[in-house]
Structure 1
Amino acid sequence: MSDTSPPPYPPADEPVPGPARRPRKAHRRTRRKALIAVVISLVVLGSIGIGATVGINRIYERLTEGTADFSGPPGAEKVVQVTQGSSIRAIGRMLEEAGVVRTEGSFVAAARKDSRAASLQPGFYRLNLNMPAREALAKMLDPTSRILARIAIPEGRSAAQAVAKLSKESGIPQEDFEKVLANPKGLGLPGWARNKVEGFLFPATYDVEPNATAESILKQMVTRFNVAATATDLVARSAIVGRTPLEVLTIASLIEKEAKLADDQPKVARVIYNRLEKNMRLQLDSTVHYAVGGAEVVTTTAEQRAVDSPYNTYRYEGLPPGPIASPGEAAIEAALSPAEGPWIYFVAVNPDTGETKYGVTAADHARNVEEFRAWLRANPGR
């Protein structure tokens, strides 16, 4: 037997979202009728003035929610903001004051007829003036009406690269981001980050509200990193591989830059660990590119490889002093769970496809390097 009871509705005076409860209809109708009768009697007897009449009209609208409504057509576009913790009634009041709906009560009544109203989220919405309340609600429930800039930050981007993209797509001046990066104490960085943002701006797609600031966006990204760090149990598992959390994140950033294919990430991780254990220089072009700040191509020049920087792994042994980019969760996992193998060399023999070959001996590596050089000859200028 089907359930023919009315759908649940969000309570008008409770924050959205919240639990729904059913109205006590009989009692409400009795109360409305009684108070409406009082209003009519007062008006008929002429015992109230103009100011009191306005107040009584307001009471009447609250008691007869949904009866005073625009009939359309909608007017000019209007952007409104739903603030955190707003109740259905507070949203209705805001819409009435903005001229979107005729009365607060009409919106409350429409919301009571649609259980989806409980899912309304804080944010900015593109509506119209003079809308019937049910149409205003329907438009707010349509995701396309919410005003957001969706900004995707791919894996392997440095903080400078991420900030340039964020500024371009959000319209926030790059200088605002750079000021926050220079003093990032309010971003929620873990204590072991040493108050440095590089590596902690997690690669993901972010919804940016129109009132967002450089600090709020960067804080959102650091928060997302902290979620990934918890998901991978980064701090506890770093001790298992014999490294600090910052060293593991640094290794993950190297993996992200050097391994194009997911299957290669644990193998590249193993090469890095093997070379570190043997006190061999890592000799990674990605760290040289970070040191010199130039355009990233598949090779480096002898002059670049000679630059005096702690990030130059051709010149200095061990890990660079910190991450060179923001790794994704897969690269972090690879740094925590490297593949088993004796390799101490790897070469991406086809940078376009990401095909990578590994070597144990110098002879292995020489053969792989020659294959890479053949690719370079076939792709001049790369």
Structure 2
Amino acid sequence: MASFPPLKNNLILRAARGEKVERPPMWVMRQAGRYLPEYHKVRAGHDFFEMCRTPEIASTITLQPIERYEDLDAAIIFSDILVIPQAMGMVVEMVEKKGPHFPEPLETPEDLAKLKRLGEGCDVKKELGYVFEALTLTRQKLAGRVPLLGFIGAPWTLMAYMIEGGGSKTFTKAKSWLFKYPEDSQKLLQDITDVAVEFLAQQVVAGAQMVQVFDSWAGELSPVEFAEFSLPYLRQISKRVPERLAELGQEQVPMTVFAKGAWYALDALCDSGYNVVGLDWTHDPAEARKIANGRVTLQGNMDPNVLYGGKEAIDKAVKRIVEGFGGGKQGYIVNLGHGVTPGVKPEDLGFFLRKNHEYGSA
């Protein structure tokens, strides 16, 4: 088991556990990535998944925003949610200006036989060892400056990619499976969940101090389908990961769930076993606080596109959101309502962080 330097800034861990803090901690989704010029210098000459699979490169990219922004209170490992389908035997490519592409997506339930399952061809420690190496290396390089976050894609979101073959505007193929083949859909979701649980637990072994589950396509489901095909598996993950960590002799870590677009499920998500519930920008902060009623810490939720609006717009939005979360000194983690987009100017994100620090410390 790796030995790591002592943590100097545990603000986000305390906030995630519901403790009162001196100011709300800050990090942003996709903080290590395409909006940073230093990222593009590293990216030149490398395939996206090659960077994910090269621990030294992944570690370097993870640290770039930490080196640039002194206000960040967490680093999140540079990786991708689609490494789980890869570990299950699917080919995933990252196509420039298009996004992820599966040359051979799942078309019928018969295709499930092609997948590797946990303990049946899918050895998580072997298939995803590069992620664990990157986590351990990054944790050492951080030298305790801030905690390191790990993450996974949620089962429904991964299933959608695996069937659609990439991103989609309609999700016709993936949602057709839910209606045509509900039992086979549940089987696939369970197989993904089993891999996800082990992957997340091993990320903690490797050095992750907090983890997040991204259900990026949750909002494509109706409340009925979300309750049947997403929420049960999110609940499994929140229950089984701590159990697996106990088996591995590991300390427990805070867990976050982010179900983008599933505004209707906030009450259920607050009871789904996670310490933190991430909010997209469709939530009103004050209303979300009422619904949560102290059960969880809330995270979010400024629209990332406000970052294109200039300093006045950013200032106004940050002030409104911090006030909406009651000042943010208990039960709140600063973030955007989704990831930083590629065209954002780094200095505008820096201004967003500084204003949150200013208003959150008041």
TM-score, with normalisation over the residues of structure 2? 0.22
Normalising by structure 1, we get a TM-score of: 0.21
Larger Rg: 1
- Which is bigger in relative contact order (C-alpha 8 A, separation at least 6)? 2
